Structure 1
């Protein structure tokens, strides 16, 4: 059974995701689909709109056969580690033949040689990144320029490469290819052109395809009825159910109270111990807090943002503080070890067949119930889910501990 892997967040699952799923199966001639999906918190440093179980349901309704959770340790990271963790999980199943991802370029021609040149750990690359960030560039721009310099590109190529990697799906795709090479994976890569909506679009520009960003904006500002043309019926039904039951919609402001309590009660040296609190940001946090016009996460992020520190970087930093992630457990050495388990979130009948096959092929333990397995990253996942559920509009003790006890979603 030929199987294609996809790496997703589904926040929420929309028509663009359905298009990517369908074309991924078509171009790879795959019989089954395995999705690696982020848990309650996402790569841009945001809480998901609804729980990972609800989003797993969406994926299974669309036709995904097996949903595996990307551990929080990798899900809330820059592209390098997000990609590495997700690809390591696909590789660890032993049943995935190919990887399909969306990109703005729709071609691997430019990405393959870059991935080959950058797949080896390079002190030169890191020095170049540091140099350009010291000159005021943010990390994505610094990485693009450094990558061009390290690979010996001309000035014209540097400009072209910077523009290409400034597009988030191109950049993430490059890191998927780098991860495949670093892991010496047999998985082959394919890419599909992202159409009709850009990743950061705040307003829909198409009748049926819209970015997840614009869909979330519509939901939070105008209500669910405004998104019906952009999402499948099952997504709309699941969102209605979750919101009606007080399980969403979730956004950063739901975490305002615990976030400000932590920031207001810790000394700079305590804040500095958290992952992604770098280069004096602990002092900047302390400086801006008394100057805020209102105590909101949005106001805090706006006050902290500079040319060098993107909103995404700052959101991830705040999440690591909120979830008590220290630098030691998120070090390069630790992350290079990869996820230590495959946490199954849900599966179909065909997924059940894949799971049976994985008993023979998987290089990592397959975890169906967290209560039967222990790992530091799994503990972080359980804590993240509990923190997420504690901020529901109507939180309950059972919802805070459901991630530990609940079986996978079966459809």
Structure 2
């Protein structure tokens, strides 16, 4: 049985994701699909619009055979560590043969040789990033410019590659490939061209494929039914159930109170200990907070944002503060150790067969009940799930502890 791995957030699952799923199976010739899916909080530092179980249920309804949770330790990280955590889990299963990811370019021709070079980070690479940061670039732009410049010394001209790496899916794809190289993985990479809607598109186009950003905007401003043209029927049904149960839709303002309480009760020196609080941001946070006319998370993000600090960087910083993620326990040295377990969110009959194979092939513990393992990353997952549940429109104490109480999903 040939198995393809995909890394997803499904926030929420839409027609573009369905296309990627089917194209991935077609291009790779895979018989089964394993999805590594982010938990309640996502790579761009946002809460998911619906909980991880609901989004895993969407994946299973589409046809995914096995859903594995990406620990929050890696799910809320810059592309390098997000990709490293996800690819490490796919590699650790021992049953995944290939990896399929979407990209704007739809080609590995340029980024594959670059990934081999950057896997061992040439000495001048980090210095070029620091140089670009001093010049006022934000980190994604600095990384892309440094990568293109280093690679141009032994390959193509700098400009086309630098432009390619400004596109988010191309950039993330590069980091998947770097992770495969660093892990000396046997997994074969494939990429599927992203069609019609692009990652950050705030509004839908004329087709049935819209970005997840646009779909979330529609749901939050116009209601779920207005998003019907852009999502499968099963996504509509699952989202409607979650909304009726008071568990969705979730957005940043649901967490304004706990976030602001933390910010207001910490000194700048204390804030500095949290992940992604860098270059004096601890002082900027408190200064901007005191100047807000309308105390909202959106207002704070708008006040904090500069050319240097992207919204994504700032969202992740605030999320790390709210979730008590300190720099020491989530340092690069700790992250480089990789995930400590494979946590199953759901599976179908084919997935059950994969789990049986993984009893022999997996190089990490495969867990379906969190009580069976003690691990710092798992503790962060459980706390993140409880914090997320506290942001439900209708909080329920049972939801705070649902990670302990509910078994993996089975259709």
User: Same-fold call, TM > 0.5?
Assistant: yes
8 Å CA contact retained: 1:339, 1:377: yes
1:95 counterpart residue number = 95
Pair 1:108 & 2:108 matched: yes
2:324 counterpart residue number = 324
Which residues in structure 2 correspond to 1:257-272 (within 5 Å)? Answer: 257-272=257-272
- Local SS of the residue matching 1:409: coil
2:135 counterpart residue number = 135
Q: In the TM superposition, what whole-angstrom CA distance separates every residue of 1:5-53 from its partner, at most 9, and x where no partner exists?
A: 0000000000000000000000111000000000000000000000000
1:294 counterpart residue number = 294
Distance in 2 separating the partners of 1:296 and 1:409: 36
1:59 counterpart residue number = 59
Q: CA deviation at 1:155?
A: 12
1:366 counterpart residue number = 366
8 Å CA contact retained: 2:151, 2:158: no
Q: In the TM superposition, what whole-angstrom CA distance separates every residue of 1:141-192 from its partner, at most 9, and x where no partner exists?
A: 1001111222234998322222111110000000000000000000000001
2:234 counterpart residue number = 234
Q: In the TM superposition, what whole-angstrom CA distance separates every residue of 1:225-253 from its partner, at most 9, and x where no partner exists?
A: 11111111000000000000100100000
8 Å CA contact retained: 1:196, 1:206: no
Distance in 1 separating the partners of 2:152 and 2:235: 46
Q: CA deviation at 1:397?
A: 1.0
1:191 counterpart residue number = 191
1:248 counterpart residue number = 248
2:32 counterpart residue number = 32
1:77 counterpart residue number = 77
Q: In the TM superposition, what whole-angstrom CA distance separates every residue of 1:44-67 from its partner, at most 9, and x where no partner exists?
A: 000000000000100000000000
How does the TM-score come out when normalised to structure 1? 0.99
Pair 1:20 & 2:41 matched: no
Pair 1:146 & 2:146 matched: yes
Distance in 2 separating the partners of 1:362 and 1:259: 38
- Local SS of the residue matching 2:37: strand
Q: In the TM superposition, what whole-angstrom CA distance separates every residue of 1:62-100 from its partner, at most 9, and x where no partner exists?
A: 000000000001000000000000000000000000000
8 Å CA contact retained: 1:197, 1:206: no
- Local SS of the residue matching 2:229: coil
Q: In the TM superposition, what whole-angstrom CA distance separates every residue of 1:296-355 from its partner, at most 9, and x where no partner exists?
A: 000000100010000000000000000000001111110000001000000000000000
Instruction: Tell me the number of residue pairs that the alignment of Structure 1 and Structure 2 aligns.
Output: 411
Pair 1:165 & 2:165 matched: yes
- Local SS of the residue matching 2:326: coil
Q: CA deviation at 1:206?
A: 3.0
Q: CA deviation at 1:380?
A: 0.2
8 Å CA contact retained: 1:103, 1:169: yes
2:388 counterpart residue number = 388
Structure 1 segments unaligned to the other structure (5+ residues): none
Q: CA deviation at 1:404?
A: 2.0
Does the C-alpha gap of structure 1 residues 163 and 405 become closer, same or farther in structure 2, counting only changes over 3 Å? same
- Local SS of the residue matching 1:329: coil
1:44 counterpart residue number = 44
Distance in 1 separating the partners of 2:405 and 2:372: 10
Distance in 2 separating the partners of 1:217 and 1:174: 28
Pair 1:181 & 2:206 matched: no
Distance in 2 separating the partners of 1:333 and 1:258: 29
- Local SS of the residue matching 2:307: coil
Runs of 4+ in structure 1 displaced over 3 angstroms?
152-156
2:86 counterpart residue number = 86
8 Å CA contact retained: 2:128, 2:146: yes
8 Å CA contact retained: 1:103, 1:192: yes
2:304 counterpart residue number = 304
Structure 2 segments unaligned to the other structure (5+ residues): none
